[in-house]
Amino acid sequence: KAGVTQTPRYLIKTRGQQVTLSCSPISGHRSVSWYQQTPGQGLQFLFEYFSETQRNKGNFPGRFSGRQFSNSRSEMNVSTLELGDSALYLCASSRDRTNEQFFGPGTRLTVL
Amino acid sequence: AQTVTQSQPEMSVQEAETVTLSCTYDTSENNYYLFWYKQPPSRQMILVIRQEAYKQQNATENRFSVNFQKAAKSFSLKISDSQLGDTAMYFCAFRDDKIIFGKGTRLHILP
């Protein structure tokens, strides 16, 4: 069974631009969560989607948004990028909202 | 609000030794799940072990075992016969409705 895939793996943007990251969960998994990982703040929860509905949201500004499609694939969007948005963005999927999560390799975003 | 605390930012042990990573959490819930994840230098996060709060028996996975103390809200991870490949960042996580991660413990296994 294929694991969680994230595209692109690396991305370089400039301040003010916007970016869209994609996540394909493991087949059969309906829950997708997004995290931001930085050396200073550790792993911070962004949001969780389950069956196309946002179920939980972390403490991030409205510039961060996401969605989930009917095939469970998910995208997250960051608008008006800031230097502080440089991070590793991890996506994780699980069968339902109580099971363990399986993580993708992440997208390394660099904002210049 | 639930919190997860990993009090050891960094640890080093010799290969073949046993090491214990600590994790405490705070919750008013009775039913929840606890996990330990490992993130090697390659950055792919992988699940090490999981524990359901309603189960009194401590979970084990080969060389990895946990000491789950529900009343004390403690969930430590023991790695026996440590190997060089165990070098990684280890995250403790709590999940009921939301999932919350601790800040991690960087573990170095020394040859």
Cβ pair A87, A109 in contact under 8 A: yes
B39, B66, B99: which to substitute to probe chain A, counting the most A Cβ within 10 Å? B99
Q: Are the Cβ atoms of B43 and A106 closer than 8 angstroms?
A: yes
pLDDT at A39 over 90: no
DSSP string, B16-82: T--EEE--EEE-S-SS-EEEEEEE-TT---EEEEEEETT--SPPEETTEEEEEETTTTEEEEEE-S-
Residue A1's pLDDT is 67
> Span A77-86, mean pLDDT?
96
B45/A contact by beta carbon, under 8 A = yes
Q: Which residue has the higher pLDDT, B41 or A76?
A: A76
Report the alpha-carbon distance of residue A12 to residue A86 in Å, rounded: 9
Cβ pair A108, A11 in contact under 8 A: yes
Residue A42's pLDDT is 83
Residue of B nearest to A104 (CA): B44
Confidence of residue A23 (pLDDT cuts 50, 70, 90): very high
Give the phi and the psi of residue A84 in degrees, each rounded to 5.
Answer: -70, -5
> Span B19-43, mean pLDDT?
92
Residue of B nearest to A39 (CA): B103
Give the phi and the psi of residue B29 in degrees, each rounded to 5.
Answer: -80, 160
Report the alpha-carbon distance of residue A76 to residue B94 in Å, rounded: 24
A74 membership: H or E segment, kind and range = strand A74-78
Residues of chain B contacting residue A103, judged by C-beta atoms under 8 Å apart: 37, 44-46
Q: How many CB pairs under 8 A join A and B?
A: 44
Which of A43, A45, A56 lies nearest to residue B91, judging by beta carbons?
A: A43
pLDDT at A43 over 80: yes
Residue of A nearest to B96 (CA): A98
A53, A98, A99: which to substitute to probe chain B, counting the most B Cβ within 10 Å? A98
Residue of B nearest to A36 (CA): B101
> Span A86-110, mean pLDDT?
91
Q: Is residue A65 classed exposed, middle or buried when 0-12, 13-18 and 19+ CB atoms within 10 A define those classes?
A: middle
Cβ pair B2, B94 in contact under 8 A: yes
pLDDT (tens digit per residue) in B38-95 = 999 877 899 999 999 998 899 999 999 999 999 999 999 999 999 999 999 999 999 8
Report the alpha-carbon distance of residue A61 to residue A76 in Å, rounded: 13
Residue B44's pLDDT is 86
